[in-house]
Amino acid sequence: MKRLIPLSLAILLLLSGCWDSRQLRDITIAKSAALDLLDDGIYQSTISSPVPRKYQAEERTLVVSGTGHTIREARMALDGKVSEQIDTAKLRILVLGEPLARKNIFPPLDIMYRDPRSSLGAKIAVFDGVGSNLIHMKLTDKPRTSEFVAELLETAESNTIVDDINVQLICPIMMDPGEDMILPYIGVDEEDNPRLIGNALFNGDTMTGSLSVEDSTLLLLMKGKLGSATFLTEKVHQEEEEDDKDNYITLRIRDTAASTEVTVNHASDEVTANVKLTMKVEAIEYPHNELTEKENIAKLNTSLEEQFTAEAGEIFKTLQESNCDALGIGRRVLVHHPDFWDTHKWNELYPEITIEPEIKVEIVDHGIIN
Amino acid sequence: MNVKMKISHPQLFFFIVQTQIGVGILSLSFSVHEEAGWDGWMSVFLGGIGIQLIILLLYALSSRYPEHILFHAMELIAGRLTGRLITTAYTIYFITVAILVLVIYKNIILTWLFPATPGWVIQLLLIISAWYLSREKLHIIVRFYVFVSALFLLVVGVLLFALGDLNPLYIFPIGHHGIGPILKGVMAAMQAMLGFSVFMFIFPYIEYKKKRDVLKTATFANLFTTAFYGITVLITMMFFSPPELKLVPQPLLYMLKTFSTPVIDRLDLIFLAMWIVSVTTSLMTYVYLASLSGAHLLKGVKRKKLTLWTSGAIFFIAMGPTNNLTISKFAEGVDYFSIVMVIVIPLLLYLLSLIRGKPSSKGGQQHETTHSS
């Protein structure tokens, strides 16, 4: 008897099954999903799921959409369209249609944050148009849109065009009153193929504008981000017009140091932000071929600095017009001048503040020729 | 009593630390943030200082009667009847804390890991393992605690994942909330650190050259726990912006959910599954203490047998509360109970023992009390 009890207990534990098992044959795995807001204020959820097919190398995908007043209702409508239960735990890409992004994105994302099984590590992007269109696209070189978009974004991350973010990492920024997020912005080119067209600017959880690819890189550099393969191309010679191609230089950004300092003038209620960026660059393409002399390099540095500073000024203008505090200037005001923060509404103040760029460029290398 | 049955100082260290660190770490930054906002991390460190003061008091009390377990010393100090009443209160207290730990962890496992598994199964598995070890003698229990302390490295390891995504600006301006809320946060922090008091109940089972060494070990254990909790809270607070932290009751898990590695897709689930061990050690300590104090009350009943009864009671009572609001009310009640049992009663006993003067210890009783380990 004394031995029987522990033995039977052990058998009970070891031989019983699981309540929480999820068999692959019972679920449809959603690899990419799109959320849209239709004209009549109804959410549409679209998912794409790989369909394994026996003895055939070519992969198929299943794309279905469902609509509802909440995302969950839309998901339920989806469930009615596929034979198995839809599982989003392996979601890789979440696409937000622009009409939805322009409204507010937190309510539809709520279910992602609340569900313990959801995939918070999914990449998130805004699509210029109805998001389901991106999911429906048939691509020639990739079997699945989820893979294509994920790789597109990963490359863009290493090129410092978009920030390395996912569904969870944007959340602290989205909720922080002192900083606004920017999300990858995907559009279509002439041949109806998806391509990255920059970043969508947000104010809180509402999309308010967009930034081009070139400007995105400079903005991210000023935020202190740097991918492994970051390039910038600038026009450095204006005067010679016979061959325009000679006028450009392409730089590879080796190393950067970025800082943002904020001063508050309490008497006049003026906020000035000083955004500093020092870049160590390598000239990787420069047909002009005059990098032998020190003066030329110094001249080039200065000329690049002027260009970048002017460009940064334009970026800040765009940001302020969209009321998107991507640099987190408000957070710095809150940190260093809490009294000022408490008595002012940052959202109203931000478009009026002065942001001064200060960019230093140092060409440290120029490949194996001069 | 065999010297080998006594526990060494490193073992004492891990006994205290494993009792303290458990389910609390998962939600600590949320609960201090609720009170003190982004200054909550200071509350944790201040809580460590507060606990040090209490440790001094508990040491002063228990070291006055180094040969007796505290429940016996109480009878010497306050008289037989009062002493027994206080011991009964302690037994109830230990059982209550064990119930709370069980209920909270069951709930976390249900929401995060196994939504379809019945709660009582999870409870049963946890309480069986707690019962199985706590029926052994103390030196066997602590050996297990030392062994599983390697799991603390796991926490350090998973925290490293977050380092790249921290924003230090989220914890500034320092001291913005003022001293009142920070002190309220201290209360919340100390709740997660409960368990530092265990050394006073097992004082005669500790092997020491000088009595002061026990204080030293308790202090080191407190330092370790405070630093461990403090760093965890700092990192989670820099990961979540203040408005988001308000929405996330288990910040550590939530943070881990964000990251995936090539091998492990969901770090939070793996962490939660492994962390069960650290939570169970807290549970074991309380089952052990409950049976220890119970065995002192019921002369002639073997402590080993009592663990089964206490475990059973804990299991059945813990099935009651399932509503989140009920549980947080219950937790609040346990907080106040803790203040009484860990601060007020030891203080009164200490003062009383000072007034009465030190009684001479009797060898016969010493033998009787230490035997029950």
Q: What are phi and psi of A215, to 5 degrees?
A: -65, -35
For the segment B279-299, the average pLDDT, to the nearest whole number, is 88
Half-sphere exposure of B3 (CA within 13 A, CB side): 3
- Alpha carbon distance B94, B88 (integer Å): 10
User: Which of B165, B169, B176 lies nearest to residue A331, judging by beta carbons?
Assistant: B169
Which residues of chain A are modeled with pLDDT < 50? none
Report the CATH architecture of A214-370: 2-Layer Sandwich (3.30)
Q: What is the pLDDT of residue B112?
A: 84
Kindly report the nearest CA distance between residue B178 and chain A, in angstroms: 13
Report whether pLDDT(B358) > 70: no
Using CA atoms, how far apart are residues B223 and B227, in angstroms rounded to an integer? Answer: 6
Pairs across A and B, CB distance < 8 A: 65
Average pLDDT over residues B348-368: 64
DSSP H helices, B150-211, are 151-162, 179-193, 198-201
pLDDT in tens, A5-24: 888 888 877 766 667 777 77
Strand partners, A182: A201
CB-CB contact of B28 with B318 (8 Å) = no
Q: What is the pLDDT of residues B81-133, one digit of tens each?
A: 888 888 899 999 999 988 988 998 888 888 888 888 888 888 888 898 889 88
- The pair of three-digit structure tokens given for residue A92, joined into one six-digit string: 């890789």
Beta-carbon contacts of A272 under 8 Å, excluding residues fewer than 6 positions away, are A262, A263, A264, A265, A353, A354, A355, A356
Query: Which chain A residues contact residue B115 at CB under 8 A?
Result: 20, 116
Query: What per-residue confidence (pLDDT) applies to B1?
Result: 45
Q: Give the single-character DSSP code of A138.
A: P
pLDDT one-digit tens code per residue, B122-163: 888 889 888 988 888 888 888 888 888 888 888 888 888 888
- Which residues are bridge partners to B35 per DSSP? none
Contacts of B170 in chain A (CB under 8 A): 172, 176, 331
- Please report the domains of chain B, with CATH numbers, ordered by start residue: 3-368 (1.20.1740.10)
Residues B239, A172: C-beta atoms closer than 8 Å = yes
Q: Tell me whether residues B114 and A168 touch, CB distance under 8 A.
A: no
The pLDDT of residue B370 is: 44
> Do β-strands A194-203 and A32-37 pair in parallel, antiparallel, or remain unpaired?
unpaired
Distances (CA, A) of A231 to A235, B305, B368: 14, 73, 80
**Contacting residues of B for A334, CB less than 8 Å apart:** 172-173
Beta bridge partners of B34: none
Condensed to tens digits (0 to 9), the pLDDT of residues B40-88 reads: 888 889 888 999 999 988 888 888 887 878 888 888 887 888 888 888 9
The shortest CB-CB distance from A171 to any of B115, B170, B244 is to B244
- How far apart CA B157 and CA A30 sit, in angstroms, is 31
* A280: its two tokens: 């160590």
DSSP code of A237? -
DSSP code per residue over B235-267: HHHHHS-HHHHTT-SSHHHHHHHH---SS-S-H
CA B181, B185, B188, B191 dihedral sign is negative
Q: Who among B116, B239, B259 is closest to A19 (CB)?
A: B116
Average pLDDT over residues B320-347: 84
Phi, psi of B359 (to 5 degrees): -80, 150
Beta carbons within 8 Å of A248's beta carbon, 6+ residues apart: A233, A234, A235, A236, A285
Which residues of B fall within a CB distance of 8 Å from A336? 172-173
Nearest CB partner across the interface for B258, out of A18, A121, A335 = A121
* Distance between CA atoms of residues B88 and B86, nearest Å: 5
Question: Contact at 8 Å (CB) between B103 and B330?
Answer: yes
Question: What local confidence, expressed as pLDDT, does residue B372 receive?
Answer: 42
The pLDDT score that the predictor gives to residue B93 is 92
CA geometry: angle at B255 spanning B193 and B184, to 5°? Answer: 35
Give the closest-approach CA distance of A89 to chain B in angstroms: 10
Q: Which tokens hold the place of A181?
A: 């997020």
Give me Rg for the CA atoms of chain A.
25
pLDDT at B371 over 50: no
- Residues A84, A47 contacting (CB under 8 angstroms): no
A-chain residue closest to B238, CA distance? A172
Backbone angles phi, psi at A144, to 5 degrees: -130, 145
Q: Tell me which of A124, A164, A175, A205 to substitute to probe the interface with B (most B C-beta atoms closer than 10 Å).
A: A175
Looking at residue A242, its pLDDT comes to: 58
**Comparing C-alpha atoms, which of B180, B186, B196, B187 is closest to residue B335?**
B187
Question: In whole angstroms, what is the distance from residue B126 CA to residue B123 CA?
Answer: 5
Q: Which residues of B touch A (CB under 8 A)?
A: 111-118, 121, 125, 128, 165, 167, 169-170, 172-173, 176, 239-244, 247, 254, 257-260, 265-266
A204 in contact with B, Cβ within 8 Å: no
Does residue B369 or residue B145 have the better pLDDT?
B145
Q: Is residue A120 less than 8 Å (CB to CB) from chain B?
A: yes
Q: Could you tell me what percent of chain B has a pLDDT over 70?
A: 95
Chain B residues whose CB is inside 8 A of the A260 CB are: none
Structure tokens at B37: 């906002």
Which residue in B has a C-alpha nearest to residue A336's C-alpha?
B173
Q: What count of other Cβ atoms lies within 10 Å of the Cβ of residue B119?
A: 16
Least Cα distance to B23 among B249, B278, B254 occurs for B278
Task: Name every chain A residue with its beta carbon within 8 A of the beta carbon of B121.
Answer: 19
Residue B367 has pLDDT above 60, yes or no: no
